Structure formats: C-alpha cells, structure tokens
C-alpha cells in the first residue's frame, strides 16, 4: 500500500462531491450502485472513490510465503500485475490492501511481505482492479471537456502520497481533451497538465481522495458506478520526526461520525486541550474557492483535564466543544496531522457504517 512506501521514505529521510444520489442494489454476489455528484464551478471539490472497480476474484489463501499468496483458484498469468490490489477481508490484515506486482496461475505476489505481517492460510481476500482516469471518468461521465490543452477548464489533482511535512501540494494534475487539437494528434482522452502526455491509465488508489478543480464556467455532474463496499476498507497512517499530514478519505458511501470512525486507533489522545498533538482536519465541499482551507480541526482528549469535565472524547480545537457526533461525509476528505514522533506506521480500519 502506498502509505508504507511513504513510511520507508520517512524512515530513510527523516470529499466529497456533493452527492445528489446514491443507489445500491443488493445481489447474492456483490452489491452494486452509482453515485451522481456535482463539481461546483470556480471551486476545488474533494472526491473519494467510495465505490470500487471490478472485483476480479474472491478467494482465500491456500498458503502464504513472504509476499506470495497462493489460492486454489486458477488464475491467468500476469493478469493482475500493477493493475489490481488485494484487499484482505479476514485475518490479521482485515481491511488492509496491497498492490499485486505479479500473478501466476495459482498465486498473487504482493508489494509487501504479508506473511511477516500475520497473513496466513485461510485468510479471505478480494482482488480488485484499481480505478484509472479512463475507467472512473470515461467520455460519458460528464467531466468538463477541455478544448485548449494549454488552458484546461477542469482538472483532476492527485495527492503526493510520498511527500513529507504538512500542507502538502498536489503531485500532478490531469485534464480531459476533446480531441480537437493537432498537438495531441486529434485524440480525445486524458492528458497530464503541462507535459501533455497521455494519462488515461493513471491509477487512483483507495487510501486517499483527489480534487476536481472546475474552472469551466458552470457546475457539472459526474456519474460513477461500481461495487459498494461490504467489508472494511482501511489504510495506513504514518508518523515522522516532524509533523506529518496524512491525506485520507472516508472510504464508504455513508457518513462516519468521529465517535464511530475508529480514528482513536491511529490518533494519539491528548492530555492538554490547549496544545493537542495529533489532529483531524475536515474538509467540506460547501461554498466555492480554490485551495480552500480545512473546515475545522479536532483532537481526542484523554479525559484528564478538569476543563473538559474529565471527560474523554473528541473536541474541536480552539472552541473545545464536544464533537464526537461530527461526521466525515460519505467519501469525505480529511487529514490526520500527526505530531512529531518516532517514525511509525499505524493501521486505520473503520467499521462499515451500514448493512446491505
């Protein structure tokens, strides 16, 4: 998972769209649904991929050796390489996911030695295809189309998951061209802003959000369909020698309250309400504007302060109001700002907030 790659870098160097509809249809195999969302003009809109791409395989491990997870299922050699990830749905790594780097006829080889992490024979998993710009936003999705490749009217900005520090900049941005420019060989599709290289295969990973920057002159809707998560979808949260932002997302098409989020597993509680360490910064898509700041920030108090009636729980930074009922919206973007600490990786595994 990408967060572990960031941790390696730290050790060595150291959304929500406005949802207008969500439809879920339960089936005996996998529930599917769609989300229709609105990106406001003259604004950044934070987007989480709350529905997953194609589930290629549901299976269990017949054996685990290092990064190799064997299965009784018959696979196609190289079928999942660099295009799919494994989401464990039971066992020690329930809710954690890892990229597939190789596929044999009876196993997947992951980016990480999962045996060392506790994955063992019998653990159940799904092999899921990564979203790409092409698959998440095909020409029929409703994304605003740019005519001039040198001045795109709408872009997708991706987070830099290997960056260190706080208030991180985006890693890159992309736009959809209508195919009218000879500079791009009269070929419609996704391109990288500035470089103008073809970008339809650029992957979108489930641990973070991305940003739609709409400067097209009007709002536009996008429609995404896919599988509704019925198992835990988690990710890693890193700490570093200096303060570190983790740019995360509510991975479900339903709101998560702070109390029900499970974030206390990865956010260190604070004894001092006037100088909290770890904080959770929430972002909202109401209003307009580019490079918008967080809506508010929150910390978890350990209950030791009489100022807060010796009551443990979530509180808003500054106002000190009780905030356990505050919600991270469906697909909502948020940051965990970890205070300076020894470099480490913790795992967030939020419970699924609905039943289907």
Percent of the chain exceeding pLDDT 90 equals 84
pLDDT band at 17 (very low <50, low <70, confident <90, very high): very low
Closest CA to 82 of 207, 247, 201: 201
Q: DSSP for 199-235, please give it.
A: -TT-EE-TTS-EEEEE-SSS-EEEEEEEEPP-S---E
Q: Are 214 and 197 in contact (CB under 8 A)?
A: no
| pLDDT of 234 | 96
Which candidate, 127, 141, 156, 159, places its Cα nearest to that of 35? 141
Task: Domain ranges for the chain, please list them.
Answer: 33-51+133-227, 55-129, 235-348
User: From the CB of residue 318, how many other CB atoms can be counted at a distance below 10 Å?
Assistant: 11
DSSP of 20-77, one letter per residue?
EEEEEE--SS--EEEEEEEEPTTEEEEE---SB--EEEEEE-SEEETTEEE-SS---T
Q: C-alpha dihedral over 266, 267, 271, 276, to 10 degrees?
A: 160
Q: What is the pLDDT of residue 152?
A: 98
Residue 193's pLDDT is 98
Per-residue pLDDT at 37:
78
Give the pLDDT confidence of 234-250 residue by residue, as tens digits: 999 999 999 999 999 99
| Window from 48-57, 102-111, 186-195 with minimum mean pLDDT | 48-57
194: burial class by Cβ within 10 Å (0-12, 13-18, 19+)? Answer: exposed
- The set of residues, in sequence order, having a beta carbon less than 8 Å from that of 182 and lying 6+ positions away, is none
The string of pLDDT tens digits covering residues 303-313 is: 999 999 999 99
- Contact of 199 with 188, CB cutoff 8 Å: no
pTM of the model: 0.90
Mean pLDDT in residue range 102-123 = 98
CATH, range 55-129 = 2.40.30
- Nearest Cα to 165, choosing from 240, 72, 222, 277? 240
The span from the CA of 116 to the CA of 99, in Å, is: 16
pLDDT by residue (tens digit) across 250-309? 999 999 999 999 999 999 999 999 999 999 999 988 778 999 889 999 999 999 999 999
Q: For the segment 319-345, what is each residue's pLDDT rounded down to a tens digit? A: 999 999 999 999 999 999 999 999 999
pLDDT at 146 > cutoff 70: yes
Mean pLDDT in residue range 46-64: 94
* Whole-number pLDDT of residue 223: 86
In 10 A of CB 289, how many CB atoms? 10
Name which of 153, 168, 147 is nearest 213 in CA terms: 153
Lowest mean pLDDT across 73-87, 180-194, 282-296: 282-296
Separation between Cα atoms, residue 91 and residue 118, nearest integer Å:
8
| ∠ CA 54-213-165, rounded to 5° | 85
């Amino acid at each position: 998972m990408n967060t572990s790659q960031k941790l390696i870098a730290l050790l060595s160097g150291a959304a929500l769209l406005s949802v207008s509809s969500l439809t879920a249809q339960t089936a005996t195999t996998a529930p599917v649904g769609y989300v229709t969302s609105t990106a406001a003009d003259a604004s950044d809109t934070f987007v989480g991929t709350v529905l997953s791409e194609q589930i290629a395989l549901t299976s269990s491990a017949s054996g685990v050796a290092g990064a190799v997870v064997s299965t009784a299922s018959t696979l196609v050699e190289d079928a999942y390489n660099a295009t799919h990830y494994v989401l464990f749905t039971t066992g020690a790594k329930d809710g954690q996911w890892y990229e597939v780097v190789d596929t044999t006829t009876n196993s997947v080889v992951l980016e990480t030695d999962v045996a060392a992490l506790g994955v063992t024979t019998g653990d159940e998993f799904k092999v899921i295809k990564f979203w790409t710009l092409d698959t998440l936003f095909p020409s029929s999705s409703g994304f605003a189309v740019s005519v001039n490749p040198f001045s795109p009217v709408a872009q997708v900005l991706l987070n830099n998951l290997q960056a260190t520090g706080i208030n991180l900049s985006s890693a890159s941005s992309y736009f959809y061209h209508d195919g009218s420019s000879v500079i791009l060989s009269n070929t419609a599709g996704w391109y990288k802003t500035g470089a103008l290289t073809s970008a339809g295969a650029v992957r979108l990973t489930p641990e973070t959000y991305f940003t739609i920057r709409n400067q097209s002159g009007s709002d536009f809707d996008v429609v995404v369909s896919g599988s509704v998560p019925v198992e835990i979808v988690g990710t890693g949260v890193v700490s570093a020698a200096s303060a570190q932002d983790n740019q995360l997302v509510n991975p479900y098409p339903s709101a998560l309250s702070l109390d029900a989020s499970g974030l206390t597993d990865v956010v260190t509680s604070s004894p001092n309400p006037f100088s909290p360490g770890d904080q959770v910064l929430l972002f909202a898509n109401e209003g307009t504007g580019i490079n918008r700041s967080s809506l508010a920030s929150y910390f978890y108090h350990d209950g030791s302060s009489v100022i807060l009636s010796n009551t443990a729980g979530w509180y808003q930074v500054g106002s000190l109001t009780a905030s356990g009922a505050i919600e991270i919206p469906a697909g909502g973007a948020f940051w965990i700002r970890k205070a300076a600490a020894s470099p480490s990786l913790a795992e967030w595994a939020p419970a699924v907030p609905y039943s289907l």
